[in-house]
Each structure stands twice: as structure tokens, then as C-alpha cells.
Structure 1
Amino acid sequence: MKESSPPLVSGPVQIVPEGTLELLSKKEISHLLDSAHTELFETFRKCALAVLNSGNVVDNSKAVFEQYRNFAIHIREQERGIKLELINAPASAFVDGRMIRGIREHLFAVLRDIVYTNQQVIESGSFDLNQSSDITDAAFHILRNAQVLIPQQPPDMVVCWGGHAIGETEYDYSKRVGYELGLRGLNICTGCGPGAMKGPMKGATIGHAKQRVRGGRYLGISEPGIIAAEPPNPIVNSLVIMPDIEKRLEAFVRVGHGIVVFPGGVGTFEEILYILGILLHPANADLPYPLVFTGPAESAEYFYRIDEFLRATLGEKVRDYYRVIIGDPEEVARTLRAGMEAVHRYRHRTHDAYYFNWRLMIDPAFQRPFEPTHASMAELRLLAELPSHELAAELRRAFSGIVAANVKEQGISQVERLGPFEIRGHRKILEPLENLLVELVAQKRMRLAEHYEPTYRLIRV
């Protein structure tokens, strides 16, 4: 049976800016449209399509772009600013012929961040992106330009990580946790997609409403490689597009004041290893950063497997940096609220900003962009003798590669052409890694597709 085509608005449809997009100069517009920057414009086109396609259940970026291969977007310059002209846009982005306001805001947020990052960060010469301090400074500038850094506001931002493909029970639980966080006046930051990224935001909206919290913040942070597989959910009221996964992760931990991890797949493990690798670094030994793993009672085995994997690879000491709470949303929220108070006292004592965690030491191994290829995946150093924070960085890259092969266009294409990525390492590392991956496949946490064919091969050396 031939696959039916998605409903489209053939267009052309013209829309004007909405949200935090500052006016673009003629130079910025011509820069984006210059034939020398066709790759930049294609990045914008794909991110725009992802935003317009919010609500789609496909988590395969390559499939999304193929499904909407006739989608086109044009920037129309006028004296009063710009307009976007859309052709063959997803019909779900419109109501009675008008684009949904939240989607329009997200669309112009994408344009804002892609133009700013390319001109002011990548091409300006103001930042040496091989230097750790400049990478952090670049992340700060992108976030500041997006107007998501609010001075003088006490610590209240909880980063929620977890899978986009979780089941109904886990999704409902994430909403309950978000509700309890909202009742305590805490704001939510997620990867902006569906599932465990949407649930806490949805719950927090009710908690905020009950407490008459005005101006609740639901911050979504994405990047071009993942946004098609995890398009922004409609609750996000501030969207930021970072240039790559490493700067996205750095934005999470610098903007957030505590982290809650819900069940998820390999992307969630990439995030877990990122924050634990940072907290395990000796330079961060005294820095308070509440970290909670949580899920409903039905997910207890999942978190047992996480704990088992982390202790087997990173050592028993890793257990000091997180707390596992099963089936108790109120306790999760109380723990984060208490953690916020500790963060507040520490930031006040050390004169660190509340809105951006400058004092957090992030090793360059977690900042340098990792491009998953067959060569780079085979060269990973998964060695038992590495210090725990260095091994966490290597494991993070391994999971990043599997994420790319599962849902990102470039990674999917590589595996289709050349076969699975090969991941080599010491048996003391690969055995617990294999046990974990087998369990994730068995629990259908790798991808939304009914059948999952592994995109990796583990080789003991």
C-alpha cells in the first residue's frame, strides 16, 4: 500500500515575525540569502520544517525530511523588516488558515538563533571555539541574545531530561512531577520535544495556575541535528537553538539549577553521562547541583539498570552524585526545592550569577563537538583505567553516536551506507554497556519504530 502524503498548505503563505526576533538588518538578510551560505539556509529550512511539524510521531529525521521534501521557505525583504513565505507547509501548523501563534514564535526563534550564531559566533572572529572559556562565552551570548537569562531571579530552573518515546504511565508520572514542581514555584527547562520533555511542562502549567504564578517559564533548548526528531512541544514559551549537541548540553547545565531525569533511551544516557562526568571532575567537588533519577513504580527495574551500569563503569563513588526516587513526585519536588536553596546559598556566598553557572568547570572533552563517523566511533577510548570523569566523556560520545545513527539524518545515512558503527573497548566497560543496550532494546526505548535493528556493534579488545 502506498504511503499517504501528509496534509499540506500548498501556499504560498506569508507570515511576519512573532516573539523575541529582533529586526534583521539588510546585511543579515543578504548574508543568509547569499549563494555562498546555501548550507546555512538549508539548516534554517530544516529547522523551520521541524517546528512546523510539531506533533508528528515520527522520530526519524531522514524520514521527516523525505516526507516533506517539497517544503520551501523564502525570506522576503521589505523596508519594515522581513516576511517568511512558506510553500507546502504542514497543515497542522495552521488553524482556519492562520498559523498557530506559538508555532510562529518558534519559527522566528529558529531564524533568530541561526542568523545570530552564524554571524556573531562562528564568522565574527570574536570567539576561538577551540578554547574552553570561549565556548562557554559563546553559549552565554546565544542564550542572552534569546533573552532567556534573567538577572536577579533566585535559582528556580529545573532541567528535565528523559525520552521522547516513553509510555503512557511514565508520561503521566512526568506530568505529576511537573505539577509538584510548579506548585513550589519552580520553572521547567527541557529538550523541548514530546514525551518526558513535554510532561513536566504540562504538569507545571497546572501547578503554576493553582499558585497564581504569572510568567511561568517553559524553556526548550534544541539543536539542528535533533529538532526534526524532537520538534518543540506547544507548551514551550522560550525556544533556543544551540549550534550543536555539546553547546546544547552546556546550556542546560549552566542555565539550570538542578536536574530531574525520567526514563528514556540512549539520548537520556548521553545526558546522564554528561552531567555526571562534570560533577565527578575534582574541580566541581564542592559545587551543589541536585540530580534526581525518577519514574513510576513500573520503572524501578529501569533505574536499577542505570545504577548498575554507572557503578560498574564509573565506580561506586558515582552514587554520591544522584538520588533515585521511585513513585513519589512530591519527594522529587521537595528534594529539588531544597537543592535550589543550597544552590542559592552557594551562589550568594561565591558571588556567582544566579542565571548562568559560570563557576561550573566543564572539561574541554565535554565541549569539543564530536562528529559520529565510523572512524571516530572506532577510536573511542573505553578503557577501565581512565579516571571516571574522562571515561564518562568517552561513554557520552558512544551514546551520542548511537543517537545519531538512530534518529539524526547524517548518522542514519552513514549506517545505511556503511553498516553499524563499531564501538571498541575493554570488556569491563563493554559488558555492562552491552547489558544496558540489550535492556533498552527489549524495553523498546531505542526508537518509536516497532522493530529496531541495532545501529552499533560492540567489539571487545
Structure 2
Amino acid sequence: MLPTVDARIYPRGGLDVLSRAEVARLRDASAGGMHDLLRRCALAVLTSGSASDDPRAAQELYPDFDIEVLQQDRGVRIDLHRAPAMAFVDGEIIRGVAELLFAVVRDLAYTAIELGENRDLATTDGITDAVFGLLRNARVLHPAEPNLVVCWGGHSIGRDEYLYTKQVGYELGLRGLDICTGCGPGAMKGPMKGATIAHAKQRRRTMRYIGITEPGIIAAESPNPIVNHLVIMPDIEKRLEAFVRMGHGIIVFPGGVGTAEEILYLLGILLREENEGLPFPLILTGPTASAPYFEQIDQFLRLTLGEAATSRYEIIVGDPPKVAKRMAQWVRKVKEYRVAHKDSFYFNWAMHVPLEFQQPFVPTHEAMAALDLHHGRKSHEIAADLRRAFSGIVAGNVKEEGMRRIEERGPFEIHGDRDMMEALDALLRAFVQQRRMKIAGEYRPCYRVVT
């Protein structure tokens, strides 16, 4: 049996300035319907560094772990019972782990209460306002010079690809750029690790390594230890919108279905007429050996979304300094545009995100089979349904509820035009062959394409 620790923690920052009524609501929410979710996400933080992407693995290793949020006159108290000893040093919880744990409590309990009170979550403006409120409550919106680069990519990547992400992060850090990722391992950790060295060499004292996740993902992908600002959004759609609202540009490294979902989400938005003149850099990059990966992604995007999609991204292979220089140039253009249009630096209000990209998609077998993946539709409409298809595959791969559906009813079926389905199947099979679906163990597809 693995060693465990009982501990009592008093959160700082945000959770220590609540009224008695707010603390009582927080306590009740954490002890009620969301307790199991809070427990699973807290356990993910406390086991940061785990090599498994099965959300049930940590629960099996620490079946007796529990967490309580209790009321104090000065705020809240968190009691941990039989917590993983790896999160402690000489009986004291590691400070960075404690901060991430506080973020879990803040975002899953307190903001969940706030979202439930008179929130308009049925309109585009209402959902965007909710995303803004969640990010502001997490204290990650700062009216500073634009410098936040979002890095997307797979958690299960090879050693060469991981080292490349570190090199790109290093070059970004030398140019004073901060990093935001999905907060997990692999391509989400590498850029942050590289940037930390560069920031130290440039003697920067205030650095942001922001990790944005959601409950179904964090339980399978523990935050990497470099993250110093963790934000847990309620669902994948609000998580994706948070990336594009906060970031001043996006770099995509090699990845699997989750990365493909992110690319399709962003291109689906950028291809809309409302966003035609909006400067928002998107660079796809990896080591020279990853060139075939990006060629296949490029071919898939051309086939499904049309040639117009290629104007919204740039592919740079094997050249970290060039990637960073291009991104720094683009960030300056973003600043000029926002100054001219009186848009804020810390939240991109000007970008239009349609409702079809905001509404949560629940990947049931019926919903997956109903996706309309046929030619003749507008490119952003196809992108929206392709994004949902990849989202469903992510759920079937690593999210507990999705995995349960697959176990009960078999693989999802995805329908569409033959050429689109053949391209989709080829792309997914390549992900499997390159082991981009799982970190360890044999992969059994959770999908089946139907023409």
C-alpha cells in the first residue's frame, strides 16, 4: 500500500477573503453533488507527475483518499485524509501543489455556484461573459503588455518532439513571452520548462505559466509542476474559448485527437466572416522528423475545410528561433490592432465565437452518429462538427464517462462522405500507429468510421 498523509491546509489568495455566507455555500457545494468531482480533481493535483492517462488509476492507488472543505471565520480550511505522500516534504505539503489544490477548490466549487446564479448560458454574449468571470475570479487577467502565447500539443509525444517544445519555449522566453498550455505533460510541459530557463537568464521576476483545463481532462492529465496559475473551466468549450480569449497567438506542436480538436476549433472560428480581418497567429511546428505529421494534418484540413483554411496558419519545421521570431512579430501586430480598435490586451472581446462552438457537446452514441460530415456545407460548419467528432474520441479515450459509454455500447460510429471519412480514418490510424492516443498500454479504438 502506498504511503499517505493526513493534513490540514489553510488556503491563501482569493479563498481567504470570503464572507461567512460565501464560505458556507462553498462548503455545502463541496460536500454535496460535486464532492466526488472535487475529490478526483484534487487527487490528480496531489499525484502530479503520474505517467498514466487513465482517470481511474489514481483512484485505484489511493481508494481511501478524501477531501473536506470546512468553514472558518477567516475563510476556509481544507482537510486531506490519506492523501498521497508524494505531495509532501517532511510532513509539509509542497507549496506549488498547495496552490494548485486551492485552484481546484476555487474553480470547482465557488465558481460553479456563481455560474448557477442568474447566469445567461444560452446566448453567445452570456457564455463569453461567464468565461470572462471565471478567468477574472482565477486572477489571471492582467492589463499588461500582450505577451501570452498558447501552446497546444499532445501529452504522449516522443523524446525528440518533447525536446523541441522545450527549445521553442526557450526562444519564446528569451523574447519576453509567457506561456499558456493545457497544463499537462508532454507538449504542455516542454514549452514552460524551456521558458523558465530563458526567463531566468533574462532576469524576469514575474512569469506566467498558465494551465487551463477542465474536470474530465485534469482527472486523466495531472498538472505539470511548472504551472503557477491553474484554471479549471467547467467544460471543454469554455476551456477552448478561454485559450483564444486570453492568448495573443497559438503554437501547435504534434499531438493526437485533442490537438486536432483544438486546431479545428480555432480554424472554425477564424474562417468566419466576422473574424476575417482579426490578426491571430497560428503556427504549427515540430522537429524535422515531424514534417510528415504536419503534411498529413495540412492535407486533412485542405480536404475538409478547403484551401481558404491554409491562409490562417503557418507551418514551420525544425527551426525554434524562427518560430519565436514570427510569433513575436505577430504579437506586435496584435497589440497594434487592439490599440487601434480599443480592445483590451488581456481578453480578446473582438473575436466572434458563435454559439455552435460554445455549447457543450455531450458525446453520446446518438450525438456522434448524428454529426453531419458532408461536403457542401460552409467550412466553419464542417469544422464545428469535426471538432465535436474529435471531442467525442477524446472522451472515449480518457474521460471516465466516455470510457464507460464505450464499455457499455461499443465504439462510437462517425458518418460522412467517403473521402472525408477515409481521410479522417487515415489520420486517426496514424495517431494510433505513432502512439499519440495513449502513453502506455495497447490502444483499442473507441470509434468506427462509416461511409
Query: What TM-score does the superposition give when structure 1 sets the normalisation length?
Result: 0.95
Residue 428 of structure 1 and its aligned partner are, at CA, apart by 2.6
Please give the secondary structure, in 2, of the residue aligned with 1:287.
coil
Comparing 252-261 with 16-25, which one deviates more in the overlay?
16-25
Partner of 1:444: 435
1:429 is the counterpart of 2:420: yes
How many Å apart are 1:228 and its aligned residue? 1.5
Could you tell me whether the CA contact under 8 Å between 1:19 and 1:109 is conserved in 2?
Answer: no
Distance 2:368 2:240 in 1: 20
Among 11, 14, 19, the residue aligned to 1:25: 19
Q: Quick check: 1:313–1:428 contact (8 Å CA) kept in 2?
A: no
Structure 1: gaps (5+ residues) = none
Name 2:59's counterpart in structure 1: 65
Q: Secondary structure at the match of 1:180?
A: helix
Structure 1 position 147 matched with structure 2 position 139:
yes
1:295 matched to 2:273: no
Give the secondary structure class of the aligned counterpart of 2:52.
coil
* TM-score calculated relative to the size of structure 2: 0.97
The residue type equivalent to 1:236 in the other structure is V
Q: What is the CA-CA distance between 1:451 and the residue it aligns to? A: 1.1
| C-alpha separation in 1, matches of 2:261 and 2:310 | 17
* 2:117 paired residue among 124, 128, 133: 124
Q: 1:32 to 1:81 in 2, by over 3 A?
A: closer
Note the aligned Cα RMSD (angstroms): 1.4
Tell me which amino acid in the other structure corresponds to 2:87. A
The 3-state SS of whatever aligns with 2:390 is helix
Aligned length, in residue pairs: 451
User: Amino acid of the residue matched to residue 406 of structure 1?
Assistant: N
Residue in structure 2 matched with residue 214 of structure 1 by the alignment: 205
2:34 alignment counterpart: 40
Partner of 1:8 in structure 2?
3
Deviation at 1:302, TM superposition (A): 0.7
**Counterparts of 1:403 and 1:284, CA distance in 2:** 28
- Find 1:134's aligned residue among 123, 126, 130: 126
Q: Give 3-state SS (helix, strand or coil) of 1:377's partner.
A: helix
CA deviation string 1:312-364 (max 9, x = no partner): 11111111111100000000000100000110110000000010000100111
Task: Give the counterpart letter for 1:223 in structure 2.
Answer: E
Residues of 2 paired with 1:391 and 1:64: CA distance? 37
SS at match of 1:12: strand
Q: 1:22 to 1:82 in 2, by over 3 A?
A: closer
> Does the C-alpha gap of structure 1 residues 36 and 239 become closer, same or farther in structure 2, counting only changes over 3 Å?
closer
Instruction: Return the alpha-carbon distance in structure 2 between the equivalents of residues 340 and 186 of structure 1.
Output: 9
1:81 maps to which residue? Answer: 75
- The one-letter code sitting in structure 2 at the alignment partner of 1:87 is H
- The one-letter code sitting in structure 2 at the alignment partner of 1:355 is Y
Does structure 2 retain, via aligned residues, the 8 Å contact 1:31–1:37? no
Whole-Å Cα distance in 1 between the matches of residues 228 and 358 of structure 2? 27
State whether structure 2 residue 257 is matched by structure 1 residue 262.
Answer: no
Aligned residue number for residue 267 of structure 2 = 276
Q: Cα deviation per residue 1:17-59 (whole Å; 9 max; x = unaligned)?
A: 1444343333333334438962222222111111111000110
Residues 408-444 of structure 1 show CA distances to partners (whole Å, capped at 9, x for unaligned) of 1100111011111111111132111011011111111
Residues in 2 aligned to 1:377 and 1:427: alpha-carbon distance in whole angstroms: 17
1:219 counterpart SS class: strand
The amino acid across from 2:40 in the alignment is: K
1:403 paired to 2:394? yes
Task: Read off the aligned partner of 2:57 and give its amino acid letter.
Answer: A
Match of 1:374 in 2: 365
Q: Following the alignment from structure 2 to structure 1, what is the Cα–Cα distance between the partners of residues 99 and 409? A: 39
Answer yes or no: is the 8 Å Cα contact 1:8–1:91 preserved in 2. yes
Distance 2:86 2:211 in 1: 20
Give structure 2 stretches of 5+ with no counterpart: none
Structure-2 change in CA distance of 1:338 and 1:36 (3 Å):
closer
Distance 1:97 1:165 in 2: 32
Q: Which amino acid aligns with 2:402?
A: G
Q: Distance in 2 between matches of 1:321 and 1:378?
A: 29
Q: Secondary structure at the match of 1:400?
A: helix
